[in-house]
Amino acid sequence: MRYLAEMRAWVLSEIGDIGSYELREVPDLQPGPGEIRVALRASALNHMDLWVARGKPAPPLPHVPGADGAGVVDAVGQGVSMFAKGDEVVVNAAIGCGSCAVCVLGEQPLCADLRIVGEHLWGTHADAVVIPAGNAVRRPASLGWSEAASFGMATGNALRLLRRARLAEGDTVLVVGFGGGVSAAGLSVGLALGARVWVTTRHRAKGERAVVLGAEGWFDSNGPFDEQIRAATDGRGVDVVFDNVGPATWDRSIRALAHGGRLATCGGTSGQQVALDLPLLFWRHLEIIGASVQSHSDFADAADLVASGLVPVQVDSVHPFDDYPVALQRLAGGGQLGKVVLDR
């Protein structure tokens, strides 16, 4: 790649906390062979924005955060035929090497050289981002820019995780910690796949919103939700627990499962370490399933679900690009319902 003009970006120059980001001018890049450059119209925050600022994990510095975004193709690299300048697209942040056995099979998340935009590579909280052409889908015509920038990581990851958990029509699901982007997507994708879904949350307003969106009911995340979901399912428990909270809810999530149930996790917002009761695991034939990010086909299917209206996009708030620190505080406070977005 060769440098072009400069662009604005939120930049992390040293590891510290979320106050370490600075709005600066940085070099813009010309897309290389097989790549496109997207002039971003909106980008959405993820908890990754918080973690990388704290060095968990530490990105190469200087670093531009942001995994989700949508915009207009404004430059096309050699050999790209699937997009042209002026096309409106949504960014898929999960980039495999493209040539190993799992990438050839379409399983990019299993690539040993998997890189994530906004974690390993410069991200979307900038005027533009460069990605492989295969890491974009056309913007669903029914979505505005804020909605288009919001569904990618959340809906793609939720769909992949529930597919790995073998969720089938008629199954029962408990989404733990409803309110953030991926848990909101967990509810909507579960419903779209034909499951009955309950949620937990610390906030009454979020629980009531989940019921409006189709949840069977909601329980307090700080309470005995394992006992409550068993009561709601005639003592059986649920087939799948969708938990991206981690240590704070882990034991109750495990105990909320039916015999043969699957705990599906794609994050740990309350920490990274959990304790596991092995006899409970093997005696009840439970499974623990993880997933991180999505394949190209998962992403395309997620876009189709959103475009069809089966999976609504939840946008909590939209902030001017210059107000990234305010948006970060909104995300860090945990009061959001859906995605926090930066507008251009």
Single-letter code of the amino acid located at 252? R
Please check the confidence at residue 4 and state whether its pLDDT lies above 60: no
Contacts 24+ apart (CB under 8 A), 136-139: 136/36, 136/38, 136/73, 136/83, 136/89, 136/90, 136/91, 136/92, 137/89, 137/90, 137/92, 137/299, 137/300, 137/303, 138/87, 138/88, 138/89, 138/90, 138/303, 139/70, 139/88, 139/89, 139/90
pLDDT tens, position by position, 170-219: 999 999 999 888 999 999 999 999 999 999 999 999 999 999 999 999 99
- What structural domains does the chain harbor? 3-151+313-343 (3.90.180.10), 155-290 (3.90.180.10)
Please check the confidence at residue 278 and state whether its pLDDT lies above 70: yes
pLDDT at residue 5, as a whole number = 65
* Beta-bridge mates of residue 288: 263
pLDDT tens, position by position, 141-162: 999 999 999 999 999 999 999 9
pLDDT tens, position by position, 23-35: 999 998 899 999 9
Local confidence band at 2 (pLDDT 50, 70, 90 cut-offs): very low
Q: What length is written for the chain? A: 344
Tokens of 39: 């002039």
DSSP state of 122: -
Q: Tell me what the pLDDT averaged over the chain comes to.
A: 95
Q: Checking DSSP bridges between strand 115-116 and strand 128-132, what pairing results, if any?
A: unpaired
Are 311 and 299 contacting, i.e. CB atoms less than 8 angstroms apart?
Answer: no
pLDDT at residue 334, as a whole number = 87
- Output the CA–CA distances (angstroms, integers) from residue 20 to 9, 42, 64, 294, in the order listed: 13, 22, 12, 29
